[in-house]
């Protein structure tokens, strides 16, 4: 049996939440290993929709242990708000079924202030962050000045660390012409929230080691996508963490051998939210149709997503870079009714044919997609739960994608509903 890491194979928003939820029925432990509450996962179970940002998707299954690893940056106020929202929908989250790494970095209100001030200063050249402070929090973590969850248990030490942190934060805010942070209210807010979040703190690496030794199945849940990885994505229009599945081990407190099967999630078309290059973007009626039918609005921000044809070059690169074993293809039903589909098989740049996504942002901005046209289908694929319920052209489309990205389809999804999923190969048994 293999532990499974689930990562996005595009620019995020690929439908990881539903796939992780569906796979979690086969897992014992679900671990979120990077990102912050800038990520958003939507789960539809029956007539109830759950929107998760920080909480692992496993929380909707009462018999699973959910873990937020040390690789995640945590806004404690956002976390408690999300737990309360889940409670209102009948899902109980307690220290018994949710454990948070004691060494996880905290996001403070000042991080969000810096994030928004920097974006405003960039004007039209802004990165397109969610303004929730994720980037600045990761900067503080690397800069060794971050406040971590365990620090809330020691008010004296917390006070000293907050002084050092605000020395840096207020210098940045002054330079950006933004209001500075008042220390006392922030310190009091941290003291107030400490007893509410500390019960969730745990020695997560030890919990996971015990689970591994007991032969339990571990499901690692990533946020965003490989093409938003701070090293391998479309830099600088990326997130502030490594979305690569290698982070699943380090972001949870396990060795590199902990991850077995890497499942890459990809839509049957392509979307992107925020700024950055997008070679296959459609700025026409078809793009609008994909966005409307796919309900392409950010879970966290509500921002409209940009839509385009499937980019096989980009996904193939993600497969190679991230060591993706197989993919989960989502939102196939959104393509229903289109007479023809296009798939990007290469890029053209200044007369040269390219079969990879170059690292240079300047080159990325000038790429022109080279398309292969594939026949569409008029029959509905929505709700299909087996190959037999798909028409021949939909199957042909899936098979062509497999060839172009050089990875097999392990499962595919035909609606937001939990059970409208077709398992081709079980990642836990592969």
> Which residues carry out catalysis?
13, 41
Q: Which residues contact 266 (CB under 8 A, 6 or more apart)?
A: 8, 9, 10, 14, 315, 327, 328, 329, 330, 405
β-partners of residue 411 are: 328, 423
Residue 410, token pair as written in the block: 């392990």
Residue 318, token pair as written in the block: 């993600």
Coil, strand, or helix at residue 311?
strand
User: Could you give phi then psi for residue 116, rounded to 5 degrees?
Assistant: -70, -35
> What is 76-143 written as a DSSP string?
HHHHHHHHHHHHHTT----TTTEEEETTPEEPPHHHHHHHHHHHHHHGGG-----SSSHHHHHHHHHT
Contact between 375 and 343 (Cβ < 8 Å): no
Contact between 290 and 269 (Cβ < 8 Å): yes
Other Cβ atoms less than 10 A from the Cβ of 412: the count is 25
CA distance 118 to 126: 8
Q: Which residues contact 125 (CB under 8 A, 6 or more apart)?
A: none
CA distance 153 to 312: 49
User: Could you give phi then psi for residue 61, rounded to 5 degrees?
Assistant: -110, 115
> What is 353-396 written as a DSSP string?
EESS--S-HHHHHH-EEEEEEEE---S--TT--SGGGS-HHHHH
- For 302-319, b/e burial (b = at least 16 CB within 10 A) is eeebbbbbbbbbbbbbbb
Coil, strand, or helix at residue 230?
coil
CA distance 375 to 396: 9
Other Cβ atoms less than 10 A from the Cβ of 132: the count is 23
Other Cβ atoms less than 10 A from the Cβ of 225: the count is 28
């Amino acid at each position: 049996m293999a532990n499974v890491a689930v990562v996005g194979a595009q620019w995020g928003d690929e439908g990881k939440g539903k796939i992780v939820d569906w796979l979690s029925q086969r897992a014992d432990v679900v671990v979120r290993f990077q990102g912050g509450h800038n990520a958003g996962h939507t789960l539809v179970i029956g007539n109830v929709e759950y929107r998760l940002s920080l909480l692992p998707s496993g929380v909707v299954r009462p018999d699973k242990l959910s873990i937020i690893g040390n690789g995640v940056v945590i806004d404690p106020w956002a976390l408690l708000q999300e737990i309360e929202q889940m409670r209102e929908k009948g899902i109980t989250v307690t220290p018994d079924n949710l454990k948070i790494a004691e060494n996880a970095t905290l996001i403070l209100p000042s991080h969000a202030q810096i994030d928004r001030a920097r974006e405003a200063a960039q004007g039209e050249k802004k990165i397109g962050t969610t303004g929730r402070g994720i980037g600045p929090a990761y900067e503080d973590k690397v800069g060794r000045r971050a406040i971590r969850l365990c620090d809330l248990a020691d008010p004296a030490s917390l006070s000293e660390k907050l002084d050092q942190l605000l020395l840096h934060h207020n210098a940045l805010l002054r330079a950006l012409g933004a209001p500075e942070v008042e220390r006392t209210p922030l310190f009091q807010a941290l003291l107030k929230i400490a007893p509410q979040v500390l019960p969730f703190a745990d020695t997560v690496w030890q919990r996971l080691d015990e689970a591994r030794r007991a032969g339990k199945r571990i499901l690692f849940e990533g946020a965003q996508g490989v093409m938003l990885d701070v090293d391998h994505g479309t830099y600088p229009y990326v997130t502030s963490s490594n979305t690569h599945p290698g982070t699943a081990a380090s972001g949870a407190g396990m060795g590199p051998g902990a991850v077995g099967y890497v499942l890459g999630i990809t839509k049957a078309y392509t979307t992107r939210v925020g700024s950055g290059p997008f070679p296959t973007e459609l700025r026409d009626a078809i793009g609008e149709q994909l966005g409307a039918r796919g309900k392409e609005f950010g879970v966290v921000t509500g921002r409209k997503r940009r839509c385009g044809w499937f980019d096989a070059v980009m996904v193939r690169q993600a497969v190679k870079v991230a060591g993706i074993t197989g993919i989960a293809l989502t939102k196939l039903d959104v393509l229903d009714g289109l007479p023809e589909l296009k798939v990007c098989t290469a890029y053209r740049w200044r007369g040269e044919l390219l079969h990879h996504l170059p690292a240079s942002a300047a080159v990325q901005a000038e790429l022109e997609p080279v398309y292969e046209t594939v026949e569409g289908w008029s029959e509905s694929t929505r709700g299909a739960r087996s190959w037999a319920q798909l028409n021949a052209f939909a199957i042909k489309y899936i098979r062509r994608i497999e060839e172009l990205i050089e990875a097999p389809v392990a499962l595919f999804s035909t609606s937001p509903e939990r059970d409208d999923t077709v398992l081709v190969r079980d990642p836990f048994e592969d």
